Amino acid sequence: MEKKNKYEAYPAGRTPNSRKRFEKHEKPKDFKTTMMKIYEYFRVEKKLLFLIFAFTIIDSLIVVTIPYIIGTSVDVIAKSVDSIEFSKLIVMTSMLAGAYIADGTISLINSWLMAGISQRIVKTMRTDLFKKLQSLPISFFDTHSNGDIMSRLSNDIDNISSVIAQSTVQLFIGTLIAMILLNITLTIVSLITVPLVFMLTKVIAKKTKVLFKDQQTYLGKLNGQIEESISGIEVVKAFNHEESLIEEFYNINEKLRKVGIKAQIWSGFLMPIMNVINNVGFVAIAWTGGILAVKGIINVGMITSFISYSKQFTRPLNDLGNIFNNLQSGVAGAERVFDILAESEEVEDVENASALSDVQGEVIFDNVSFGYTKEKLILKNVSFRVEAGESIALVGPTGAGKTTIVNMVTRFYDVNAGTIYIDGSDIRNYKRDSLRKVFGIVLQDTYLFSGTIKENIRYGNPMAKDEEIIKASKMANAHSFIKRLPKGYDTVLEESGGNLSQGQKQLLTIARAILAKPSILILDEATSSVDTRTELKIQEAMLNVMEGHTTFIIAHRLSTIRDADRIMFIDDGMIVEEGNHEDLMKKKGRYFEMYNSQMKKENTL
């Protein structure tokens, strides 16, 4: 089936097509590869990260002293209740208060710095992703729904942001050294929980990684379904598909709910089980410490210190486990983002490519073949020549290859075989941006941006003055209806121009094309969705813009292309008939049959 464009192709922009031509295939990614890519973004912040690391070391040294101070204070009290050394106890508690204040202050500074780093990294990542989308070929947008792309740009990157912001933990090396220096036996007892923590983290992380990735995938599908149903709500209501749409939404939403529950349950297992493991460790320390204290090997204060040290030692492990668990959600989002960042961009310009200027408008197709998939060719050895200033109409059944010819000459897709020439040179030898500035395209499916009418018309030429905009609008037969609007050219359009009729939107796109001053025009079904009266206005506007320009006209209404210099009947990717209207009618071939069929149908209406 022939590709149906959804984009507006003016010199500086296009709108992605949400239709799918190919099946989407997920590329397998691994945790390590994704983390290395995230690390590349962290490298830019290495100075601040070094500062955070320095603060973390200082904080760790301060925190290491806290259990020792607590143990010493306990020993001061335990020596003799009747003769407590209050002066020493005051010193100890003052040191303890100072250590807690310093710990809190440094933690606050680290959190503030890390929040800034995370937002800058995510801003860069989001910008990189958006830039990437602008450089991807049209084929990419044929394989991904708009909703899924938007989900990656928003939800997935937000997940990455939340994970980066909490990705700092205390160093526990100092705590381990302090424990060893105090008592090796209690240190060994404290470490028995470490293997259990790592085993638990590994098992749960393996499960949650898959679940969080599935959750992000279903979220993307849900967003895609919402975007498509809202943008096509008129079609949905016209065909009474509300119930089936609700059912489809329910099914996707139900799958998202199920996988979301599993992901949250599995991730929720981590902390409660870790608390149990930690409490087992505390019991082991208290039991072993009690035996050693009874035997006079250690003081009671050391048991207190070791329980505190054990908390300090296991807290970073718990934090790491919790962060690693949450990281699965962030990595799942990051993988989807990096999938797009790894996509192949449009083929770069050849070395020494020249800018296309002073265009005459001669176009030659020389044995051009092309297929959207390798298995099926849409165009098969197509050859023709269009003289500068000549108007060519492409007609034929749906899926014959008419719009594909347009996609070839604009280089939205590159040929599989053969060559296309403009003014005698292979279009692949021109810089792509200069090539596309040559074209102005008016499509059946109009697209208007949020903003004023003036801004939408100026999109064809950002440097155009107001006088040029008005002149282009008059040529497009749009000026009169624009002036009748409440604010004229400053009228703000609703989404996709919802406050205008289809014919009015089409006239604005023609004005936009005129303002771009293109050398080659492409009119793709520009009048097929309007009434006869509006069609006459649009045809008059098109004649104004076509004058002196090489023009490709794609039309199913054959009455609109009778005056074309040449008509080419396309079928099954080949030119089967060629000539002007009179010549083709005399041949009584495919064009003759289609034309008479349409006339007969219109006369019976």
Cα–Cα distance between 194 and 476 in angstroms, integer?
Answer: 76
Cα–Cα distance between 285 and 187 in angstroms, integer?
Answer: 9
Cα–Cα distance between 467 and 340 in angstroms, integer?
Answer: 42
Cα–Cα distance between 169 and 143 in angstroms, integer?
Answer: 41
- Do 561 and 553 meet the contact criterion of CB atoms below 8 Å apart? yes
Q: Identify the pLDDT of residue 427.
A: 92
Q: Would you state the structure tokens that stand for residue 551, as one six-digit string?
A: 């023009």
DSSP 349: P
| pLDDT tops 80 at residue 244 | no
Cα–Cα distance between 50 and 54 in angstroms, integer?
Answer: 6
Cα–Cα distance between 331 and 325 in angstroms, integer?
Answer: 10
> Over 570-594, what HEC string results?
EECCEEEEEECHHHHHHHCCHHHHH
If you write DSSP's letter for every residue of 93-116 in order, what string do you get? HHHHHHHHHHHHHHHHHHHHHHHH
Q: Identify the pLDDT of residue 20.
A: 36
* Predicted confidence (pLDDT) per residue in 428-475, tens digit: 999 888 888 888 888 777 777 778 889 888 888 888 899 999 988 888
The answer to which of 138-147, 272-281, 533-542 has the lowest mean pLDDT is 533-542
The mean pLDDT value of the chain amounts to 78
Total count of residues recorded for the chain: 605
Radius of gyration of the chain (CA): 35
Cα–Cα distance between 21 and 579 in angstroms, integer?
Answer: 32
Task: Give percent of the chain above pLDDT 90.
Answer: 9
**Predicted confidence band of residue 18 (pLDDT cuts 50, 70, 90):** very low
State how far the alpha carbon of 173 is from the alpha carbons of 312, 318, 458, in Å.
10, 15, 63
Q: Would you state the structure tokens that stand for residue 225, as one six-digit string?
A: 């379904």
- pTM for the structure as a whole: 0.63
Residue 204: in which H helix or E strand, if any?
A: helix 194-231
**Cα–Cα–Cα angle for 364, 365, 368, nearest 5°?**
165
Q: Rounded to a whole number, what is the distance in angstroms from the first to the last CA of the chain?
A: 29
Chain-centre distance of CA 446, in angstroms?
A: 23
- Do 525 and 396 meet the contact criterion of CB atoms below 8 Å apart? no
Cα–Cα distance between 217 and 222 in angstroms, integer?
Answer: 9
